[in-house]
Amino acid sequence: MRKILLLPLVLWACGGAKEAPPAEAPAAMPAALTAADVVGSYVGTTMANGTDSVLSNWTSIGTADSTGALSGKLVDAKAPTDSVAFTGVLSADSVIWSSAPFMPAGAPAGSPQMKWIAVGRAAGNAWTGTAVTMIAATDSVVQNSHWTATRTP
């Protein structure tokens, strides 16, 4: 009698297993960027995180030396005679840009120097990314932002 009672449970346990659906192929990885993909002139806008409130408009000129090392300068529209030097590192489909210490346009005398680190990805001639601005001497983050840029001819 016990065997008869156990038989439906065994059949249910064995019959309940289904084959897992075939796994979907992983999405193709974007091609790694090269220095040639990154160098050139760009116009861009930096906005406060979570908003479309414009913090700055700028022009950037990126170059690469014979070894492929990336560098450049950024000119804020508020201070067109000043520029901020930066360096870049390729990281797969992204670039990480780091500025040299600089004094922000319009900052009062005695203000600390600042620096920024930006990460960006390209889609054709359009770039998008995020950035943090920090006090250069302490690395204390004072602003998080996002940005867009377009390559200019």
The amino acid that residue 74 corresponds to is: L
Q: Which helix (H) or strand (E) holds 10?
A: helix 2-15
Helix (H, G, I), strand (E, B) or coil at 32: coil
The per-residue pLDDT for range 82-120, each reduced to its tens digit, is 999 999 999 999 999 999 999 988 889 999 999 999 999
pLDDT, tens digit, for every residue of 14-69?
Answer: 555 556 566 676 777 778 889 988 999 999 999 999 999 999 999 999 999 999 89
Q: What is the pLDDT of residue 99?
A: 97
- Domains in the chain with CATH codes: 35-152 (2.40.128.120)
Residues 6 or more apart whose CB falls under 8 angstroms from that of 44 comprise 57, 58, 59, 60, 127, 147, 148, 149, 150
Tell me which amino acid residue 49 is.
Answer: N
Q: Is the pLDDT of residue 81 over 80?
A: yes
pTM summary value: 0.77
